[in-house]
Each structure stands twice: as structure tokens, then as C-alpha cells.
A and B are shown apart, each in its own frame.
Chain A
Amino acid sequence: MRLELKEITKRFPGVLANDRISISVDRGEVLGLLGENGAGKTTLMNILSGIYRPDSGEILIGGTVRNFHDPHQAIDAGIGMVHQHFQLVPVFDVVESVALGAETVTGWLGTFGRAAARRRVVELSEQHGLDVDPDAKIEDLPVGVRQRVEILKALYRKSDILVLDEPSAVLTPAETLDLFKIIRGLTAGGTSVIFITHKLGEVLEVADRITVLRRGTVAGTVKPADTSREELATLMVGRDVELLVSKGAAKPAGVVLSVKDVLVMDDRLQMAVKGVSLEVRAGEIVAVAGVHGNGQTELVEAIVGLRTIDSGEIVIAGENVVHASPRRVADLGVAHIPEDRMRDGLIAGMTVEENYILDSYHRAPHSSHGWLHAREVAAAAEQGVRDFHIQTPSIGTIASSLSGGNQQKVVVAREFSRPVKLVVAAQPTRGLDVGSIEYIHTRLVEQRDAGAAILIVSTELDEVLAVADRIAVMFDGRIAGILEGASATREAVGILMGGGV
């Protein structure tokens, strides 16, 4: 074996991220590392690349035990990481980016041997069919090519173990196919590749062996020829803990949110939502399931007015909101629980009370004629704290000193504090403990039963299956399929999430 990880255990406060994980990869082999978000893949790779140190277990390279104290040592040991978020300097050209940190120099001034570096880059690029222009600036390159520059970086450092972290997350299907071709070329030359993903189709196509991680442990190791999408999906999502939410059958009424043929671009001007149509009725919970980065974020931002759509139509409660401001959308009765609540949902430096009125401060009874009404605001905030069981010393406490669950509750309490027709909740329970999760789910069901339309975006299969009346699975900017919540199975959702069939 070229690389072996034996019994790796890594514990963070309150979380067992890696629990006695063992994986191995041989010369010229592609190991697919499959798992959901939070299965422990990233932690494992950070251990491998010297960023974290394991609590126990060992790393063997070529049969000898190696301990990495910093990324440098991992690089020297031949491990080349291609991070999901590229580590390239946008204003550098390809040669500079590739050589950075491993420059060859001449003379007493340390002149960078650019010509030699350029020759190597061209050589490596041709040898492995990477087709990269050595003189192009990084910021002018499409994402797919940037990834190849990252691969070049690893090859330039003579890495023989290449780790690709969610490499296809940012690629178009065509670019993904090119990547597979490159990977096969590399392995033919003897390089070992660890391919981290949660897309079933990809791992079946490119891997020689697949190790599936679930909740920090190895759920199984299989060969693509001996397995099926269904088996992989089962291994990946498991069957154990079922989240239970007591809820009656939905009584869907009129359409509250209607999304028609919507196209949305992301910040890099790539098409992220490629023609989505979706309806959410009053009194039902629709969950948009899918792996992160398949256009859900952009779809949500478009619905709540933070992102202008490219074409199509979004109607909320009978009003076309394509050009509406976030304030106008909120005023229509839309509650929005954003995905990154510390960044977007909460103002950490402000008090619980102030956060509670963050989107209603401008309306009666919280204010009139431009002046806040301290007594009414305090009364409302006290009420919210009581109703939502927010654990806080007082409403004057700074939000950042609350626990994550209570911060989330502040956001939920605020959003539900006004008459709600539509709830848009993105990853509403990410990072919360089980108690808080149940609590939030119950509140969502309450809102549904009170007649609101609920749209949840979640990457957590458990959550989707537990609360949704209907499940729309998004893959690559499109709705891959819509399932009834009651009859949907993990396998069915998992396959759709992986872009299958």
C-alpha cells in the first residue's frame, strides 16, 4: 500500500468527528471516499494534509509511520491536496501560482527561475493532458481550469498521492468528465488519487475502490463492480436514528409561492439555477433536498429578494416579486431563516432585543414616525424569549454570547413574530443539538398547521424525511425529482441527490 490511515480518531468538543477510521490507497489506484456532509471526510483529509493532528491512529506512507506537524511535511511526503475552495492567488499567472512556495531561484537576489518553471508547467500540463495556458491570469480562468492549476501545483511538487476534495462541486458535467479523464491519465502514470465526494454516480464511474463514511466511521468498503447505487445510498445515509416529528397530514390550500422557469446566476456569473419550477401551498412543507452547491442557495436568495433572477417568474401571495427588495418581500409575510445565521441572520454585536426586531423595527408597534418605542420593543422581545424558550440572561444580552441553538431560536422567534404566509428556511437546524432540532421542527409544523406555506432547504436527509410533506430534490441547478414525503425512502432521495436516474 502506498498510503494507509490506521484507526484514525479525532475528537472535537462535543463531536467525535473521526472514530477509528482506516482507509488505504495503492499505487495507481483511485479511492472514492463517499459520505454525506458531516460524515467526517473533511476532518480526515485535514489530518492527512497536516492541518490537524489525530488523537490516535497512524498514517503510513510506503509502509513507514509518518507524523505531520504542518502542511509542509505532508507536501514533502508526496501528498497533494486540491482544496474545495481553491488556494490560488487571483492576480498571479499560472506559472507563478504553481511555483509559489516551491520556486527554484538563481543568484544572490533569489531571482525566480520563471523560464524553468514555465517549462515544467508546460511539460506537466502536456504530459497529463491538462491543457492549461501557463501565462493566463488565474482570475481570468474558468473554474474547471483553476482546478487543473491546483492539480498542476500538486504535480509540480512531485506529489504521488493526490487528494481531491469535492472536486466536482464547482464543475459543470462536461468539466467533470474532463476531470475523470485527467484522473485516469494520472493513475496510469502511477499516481494514487483519493476522490472525496457525495455524488454516487461519480464515485461509481471513477473509483477503483469505494470507502463509505457515515457519522465519523467507516460504513463499508466496496468495489464499484460489486455494488449498486442503492447499496451505496444505504451505506451512505444509514438506517439508524430516525428523527421523529409528530405531525398530522398536510391540508394543502392555495398556492402561496410559485416559482416558474427560474434562471439565477451565482456571484461568479455561472448559471446556478437552471430552470426551476416549484409551487408551495399554504399548509404544506416542501423540502428542497440536495447536496450543497446545486443551486439551492441562489434559489433561496432569489425568492427572498436578495438576488435578481435572470429569467422566469416568482410570485408570492399573488404578487410578482422579481424586482422586489428584501424589505418588500418580507412585508408580504415571508419569514426567512438564512443558511449562515451568524453572518446573515443575526447581528452578533447587538442585543437579543435588537436582533428580535431586526426586520420589524420600522413598523408599528415597534416604532412610529421614525422613533423606536422602547417599551413595546422590550415587551415584544420578552414575549418572544418566553414563547420560544430562548435561554438568555436578559433581552439586553449581546447575541454573540448565546449558544448556537439559542441564537437560532432568536432568528426563528423574530421571523415568526409577525404574520407569516411563507417560511423560507435554509438549513434551519445545521449545527444544532438534537433537542433544538426537534424544537425547530415542531415550530415549523406549527406554522404549517396555522396555514403558512413552508419551504425548507436542507442537505440533511434525516431532516428532509422527517418534516417534509413533499420533497423536491435539486441536482445541478435543476429539480431532479419531486417525491411525496410520506412515501419517500432514503434510497430514492439519496439516488436523486446523487444525480441518478
Chain B
Amino acid sequence: MTSVVGAARALEMGEAERRGLQAARIRGAVIALLGVAGLWAARGAFNVAATFSFWLLEQGGAAWSITTTVGMLWLVAGSVAIVVGGLQAGVGARFPWRQSLFVLAPLYVAAILGALLDGKVANMTGVFAGSLELAVPITLGALAGILSERSGMLNIAIEGKFLVGACAGAIAASITDSAVAGVLVAVLCGMAVGYMLAWLGIRHQVDQIIAGVVINIGAIGITNFVFLRVLAKNTWLNTPPTIEKIKIPVLSGIPVVGPLLFSGTPYLYFTLAVVVFLSYMLFRTRWGLRLRASGEKPSAAATVGIDVIRIRYGAMLLAGALAGLAGSYLSLSSAGSFQMGMSAGRGFIALAAVIFGAWNPLGAFGAALMFGFSDAIQSLMSILGVDVPPQLLNSVPYIVTIVVVAGLVGRVRGPAAAGQPYTQG
């Protein structure tokens, strides 16, 4: 209320502009300060080499590397930050600062990485490939989150769907001795859980947060139970055929890009395809238009004859399918069997990716890559014996999400009606 009134005092639109300018100045100052800190860090770091190498085709094969110094990295990052900060403060709110972060962030990451490695050689193809693999379940989970929330259903049950998918997938694949059957069953189970969430939220008007909690707790309980009671004693039920990497002919022969994008599991290819496909479906088709209308203002959709409830059920089923698929990835591709609690919070990281990616498939994929990158860096560090507490890197996605939700770095806005019960007619 105070903010509304405060804005009113400056009369008409002037206040919003003034605030925008003020925020821009603060932002500019902060970025510039980061730049100064970067330059400060550059002093005396010019004698420390920073080498990033890239495998061209396969691990241990021919490599190509860039060598510079940590000081140089800091110098570049710091200078760019000072320029960006200056522009931001000078130009004001119209300056595309979000986009500039995409330039700034990698520079800083490179500099910090160089500083941490302290002269050791980092193989980046491995890191990037690792990021992509780690990003797969997070992206699929995030897409599930985007679909449900865009249709107006809050979805904090992604974690639970992962577990159910992973467990069901492993068992089905073991019984049928077919990984494909495992994937199908995982997808179906995911859909069943998605349907249940929708049914509780829509039909029974259970608070969508509570419904999500129910599913998460229930999924942990039931999958742990099944593992301990059934799978632990009957290991034949938990030795599924796995889904292996497939090299795409020709394309996988492209240096660096080949091993990154064209030598992965089918999951990777599917995920990339779904990101593009869903972006198109959400923003370019009638289905997407109606889905978004249901999540933003269901009453407006209903007055033009759109069946909001049906749309929401559909979205929840699709979301369940994607999350179940991600679950099957965990047990059938990444680990090779089902383990208790194997989703390990990735469902909540997916939720973070939804928010960080501003409810946009491409954005969520970017966020998932970023989270995957922080994971991959962590394993790189431990391989190279660099002593960075993994807990700090592990916390990054969560802290970043809090910062984003709190609007500390520009507010992102979710679908307006997500989480609100809707009754037709």
C-alpha cells in the first residue's frame, strides 16, 4: 500500500520513471564496484597461468587450449564490468542490463575459476558435457513446472514425480528387460501423479501447496518403502537395462561441439527438442495462448468460452509425463538402478530453474545449464584436488533463487493465477 501511495505522490507516471532511474543508478554502481573489485584482484595475479583446454573429439584425445593469466582474466572482467556499470548508471532504466549480465557473468566465472585453479589445467569440454548431462533432469522437471504453473497450478511436487518415475522406470525396465518399456512406465506413472495433483487441487480444492507436500512426502515414503521391502531383497527387480549414449554420425565428429551436443544420451536430444518444441507451443500456438490465459486470468478465458479446468488437467498430465521421464533418466541412464532418495533435491532445483528462467522454456534450460555447470565445476575441482567446499557451490542455485524471488535483482513475475483455486461458472 505504501508503495502505491508513494508513487501517487509524485503524480502520474513521473514517480515510476524516477524510481527506475534510481534503481538503475544503484545497479550501475554495484556493477561498477564489482569491476573495481575485479581490477583489484588482477594485481599480482598476472604471474598465475590460467589454462582452459578443450578436447576436440574424445576424452584424452587431441585437445586445444587457451592459456592466459588469472590477472588478465580479472582485468578483462573488471574492465567490462566498469563499462557496463557506467553505461547502466548513465543511460538509466532503458539500458539492457539483463542481457549484459550474460556477457558479464561468464567473464567473472572464468576469472574466479582461474583463480581457484591456481595454475592447474581445466578441461572445459568435460565440464560443459557434464553440465549438459546434469541439466537434463533439471530441464525436464522445470518444463513440467512451467507447464503446470503457466496453466495456473502451482507445482512443488516435481521432486516427488522424479522419485516415482525413477522407481517405476527401474522396476518396469528390469521386469521387461527393456529400457524403453521402463521409460514408458515412468512417463505413465508421472502422469498418474500429475493427475492426482490436479485432481486434489481442482476437484477437491485442496490448497495446491499442501497437495504438493502430500505428493512429495508420499513419494519419498512409497519409493523408499518399495526399495527396502521389495528391491533390496529382489535385486533382479532393480537391475534395469540402461539407456546408453548414442553418437550421431557425422555431427558427433565436429570438434568440441560434437562431443558436447551429439554424443549424449537420447534424453539429451529429446530434452533439447522439447525445449524448442514447448517454446513454440507456448508462445506461438492456440493451445499455448489458451494455456497462458488460464494461468493469468482464468475468468477472462472462461468468458470467451475456454474450458479452463480441462486445460489445467491437460497441462498437469503433460507435466507429469515430463517429470516422470526425468525420473527415468535418473535410474535408467545416470545411475543404472534405483536408489533411495536419488532425486536428491533436483526437483526443487528444477523449481528454482522455473523461476530463474522466468517461466520460459529457454530460460529454464539456461538456468538448468547454469546449475549443472556449478555441479560440474564442483566435480572438476574435486578431481583436480582444489579445496573448495562443495557446500558453497551446492548452495548457489538455492540462494540465487531466493534473490530472484525476492526481486533483489529485478523482479520476475509468475503466472498471476497460479496457486489460486478456480471454480467454473
A319, CB-defined interface residue at 8 Å: no
**Which residues from chain A contact B8 at a C-beta distance below 8 Å?**
265, 269, 308, 310
- Interface locus among A87-95, A205-213, A214-222, A329-337: A87-95
A102, CB-defined interface residue at 8 Å: yes
Measured between alpha carbons, how far is A275 from B90 in the docked complex, in Å? 39
- Whether the Cβ atoms of A72 and B305 lie closer than 8 Å is yes
- Interface locus among B17-25, B55-63, B296-304, B343-351: B296-304
A1, CB-defined interface residue at 8 Å: no
A430, CB-defined interface residue at 8 Å: no
Interface size on A, residues (CB 8 A): 33
Closest Cβ of chain A to B202, distance in Å, is 19
Measured between alpha carbons, how far is A109 from B279 in the docked complex, in Å? 13
- Whether the Cβ atoms of A87 and B300 lie closer than 8 Å is yes
Measured between alpha carbons, how far is A103 from B292 in the docked complex, in Å? 14
B281, CB-defined interface residue at 8 Å: yes
- Whether the Cβ atoms of A92 and B4 lie closer than 8 Å is no
Sample of 5 further A-B pairs with CB below 8 A, known A71-B305, A91-B416, A97-B300: A89-B301, A101-B306, A110-B286, A265-B8, A308-B9
Restricting to B170-227, which residues have a CB under 8 Å from any CB of A? none
- Whether the Cβ atoms of A71 and B286 lie closer than 8 Å is no
Closest Cβ of chain B to A164, distance in Å, is 15
What 0/1 readout, one digit per residue, does chain B (280-300) give for beta carbons within 8 Å of chain A? Answer: 110011111110110011011
Closest Cβ of chain B to A83, distance in Å, is 7
- Whether the Cβ atoms of A109 and B281 lie closer than 8 Å is yes
Contact of A269 among B1, B12, B285, B302 (CB under 8 A): B12
Restricting to A91-122, which residues have a CB under 8 Å from any CB of B? 91-92, 96-97, 99-103, 105, 109-112, 114
Measured between alpha carbons, how far is A101 from B297 in the docked complex, in Å? 13
Restricting to A135-175, which residues have a CB under 8 Å from any CB of B? 153
**Which residues from chain A contact B9 at a C-beta distance below 8 Å?**
308, 310
B5, CB-defined interface residue at 8 Å: yes
In this complex, what residue of A is CB-closest to B296? A89
Restricting to B296-348, which residues have a CB under 8 Å from any CB of A? 296-297, 299-306
- Whether the Cβ atoms of B296 and A105 lie closer than 8 Å is no
**Which residues from chain A contact B36 at a C-beta distance below 8 Å?**
none
24 residue pairs from A and B, CB less than 8 Å apart: A71-B302, A81-B303, A87-B297, A87-B299, A89-B293, A89-B301, A91-B292, A91-B296, A97-B300, A100-B306, A101-B305, A101-B306, A109-B281, A111-B286, A112-B284, A112-B285, A112-B288, A265-B4, A265-B5, A269-B4, A269-B7, A307-B5, A310-B9, A310-B11
Q: With A89-B293, A109-B281, A310-B8 as known contacts, state yes or no: A75 contacts B300, CB within 8 Å.
A: no
A267, CB-defined interface residue at 8 Å: yes
**Which residues from chain B contact A131 at a C-beta distance below 8 Å?**
none
**Which residues from chain B contact A90 at a C-beta distance below 8 Å?**
296-297, 416
A230, CB-defined interface residue at 8 Å: no
Q: List the 10 closest A-B pairs by CB distance, nearest first.
A: A101-B304, A308-B5, A72-B305, A265-B8, A87-B300, A103-B286, A87-B303, A110-B286, A89-B297, A89-B296
Closest Cβ of chain B to A426, distance in Å, is 18
Q: With A269-B12, A307-B5 as known contacts, state yes or no: A100 contacts B300, CB within 8 Å.
A: yes
**Which residues from chain A contact B284 at a C-beta distance below 8 Å?**
111-112, 114
In this complex, what residue of A is CB-closest to B287? A110
Contact of A112 among B2, B12, B289, B297 (CB under 8 A): B289
Restricting to B258-282, which residues have a CB under 8 Å from any CB of A? 280-281
Measured between alpha carbons, how far is A89 from B292 in the docked complex, in Å? 9
- Whether the Cβ atoms of B285 and A100 lie closer than 8 Å is no
**Which residues from chain B contact A97 at a C-beta distance below 8 Å?**
300
Closest Cβ of chain B to A328, distance in Å, is 15
- Whether the Cβ atoms of B12 and A100 lie closer than 8 Å is no
What total of A-B pairs shows CB separation below 8 Å?
87
Contact of B280 among A71, A103, A109 (CB under 8 A): A109
**Which residues from chain A contact B302 at a C-beta distance below 8 Å?**
71
Measured between alpha carbons, how far is A267 from B305 in the docked complex, in Å? 30
A70, CB-defined interface residue at 8 Å: yes
**Which residues from chain A contact B292 at a C-beta distance below 8 Å?**
89, 91-92
Closest Cβ of chain B to A383, distance in Å, is 34
Measured between alpha carbons, how far is A90 from B299 in the docked complex, in Å? 12
Measured between alpha carbons, how far is A232 from B34 in the docked complex, in Å? 70
DSSP majority for the B interface?
A: helix
Measured between alpha carbons, how far is A265 from B10 in the docked complex, in Å? 11
Closest Cβ of chain B to A24, distance in Å, is 25
**Which residues from chain B contact A92 at a C-beta distance below 8 Å?**
292-293, 296
Closest Cβ of chain A to B187, distance in Å, is 21
Measured between alpha carbons, how far is A310 from B416 in the docked complex, in Å? 29
- Whether the Cβ atoms of B286 and A105 lie closer than 8 Å is yes
Closest Cβ of chain B to A314, distance in Å, is 14
- Whether the Cβ atoms of A88 and B306 lie closer than 8 Å is no
Measured between alpha carbons, how far is A450 from B8 in the docked complex, in Å? 39
- Whether the Cβ atoms of B285 and A111 lie closer than 8 Å is yes
Measured between alpha carbons, how far is A279 from B380 in the docked complex, in Å? 76
Q: With A103-B286, A109-B285, A310-B8 as known contacts, state yes or no: A83 contacts B303, CB within 8 Å.
A: yes
**Which residues from chain B contact A111 at a C-beta distance below 8 Å?**
284-286
Closest Cβ of chain A to B214, distance in Å, is 23
Measured between alpha carbons, how far is A102 from B286 in the docked complex, in Å? 9
Measured between alpha carbons, how far is A263 from B274 in the docked complex, in Å? 54
Measured between alpha carbons, how far is A102 from B288 in the docked complex, in Å? 14
**Which residues from chain B contact A75 at a C-beta distance below 8 Å?**
304-305
Measured between alpha carbons, how far is A329 from B305 in the docked complex, in Å? 47
**Which residues from chain A contact B290 at a C-beta distance below 8 Å?**
100-101
- Whether the Cβ atoms of B300 and A103 lie closer than 8 Å is no
Measured between alpha carbons, how far is A92 from B288 in the docked complex, in Å? 12
Measured between alpha carbons, how far is A103 from B281 in the docked complex, in Å? 14
Closest Cβ of chain B to A87, distance in Å, is 4
- Whether the Cβ atoms of B293 and A100 lie closer than 8 Å is yes
Most buried by A among B5, B9, B306: B5
Closest Cβ of chain B to A233, distance in Å, is 33
In this complex, what residue of A is CB-closest to B13? A269
In this complex, what residue of A is CB-closest to B304? A101
In this complex, what residue of B is CB-closest to A85? B299
Closest Cβ of chain B to A79, distance in Å, is 12
Measured between alpha carbons, how far is A242 from B409 in the docked complex, in Å? 61
Measured between alpha carbons, how far is A75 from B300 in the docked complex, in Å? 14
Measured between alpha carbons, how far is A310 from B1 in the docked complex, in Å? 14
Closest Cβ of chain A to B166, distance in Å, is 31
Restricting to A406-465, which residues have a CB under 8 Å from any CB of B? none
Closest Cβ of chain A to B15, distance in Å, is 8
- Whether the Cβ atoms of B4 and A88 lie closer than 8 Å is no
**Which residues from chain B contact A267 at a C-beta distance below 8 Å?**
4
**Which residues from chain B contact A109 at a C-beta distance below 8 Å?**
280-281, 285
**Which residues from chain B contact A110 at a C-beta distance below 8 Å?**
285-287
In this complex, what residue of A is CB-closest to B283? A112
Measured between alpha carbons, how far is A100 from B306 in the docked complex, in Å? 9
Measured between alpha carbons, how far is A87 from B281 in the docked complex, in Å? 24
Closest Cβ of chain A to B402, distance in Å, is 24
In this complex, what residue of A is CB-closest to B16? A269
Closest Cβ of chain A to B119, distance in Å, is 50
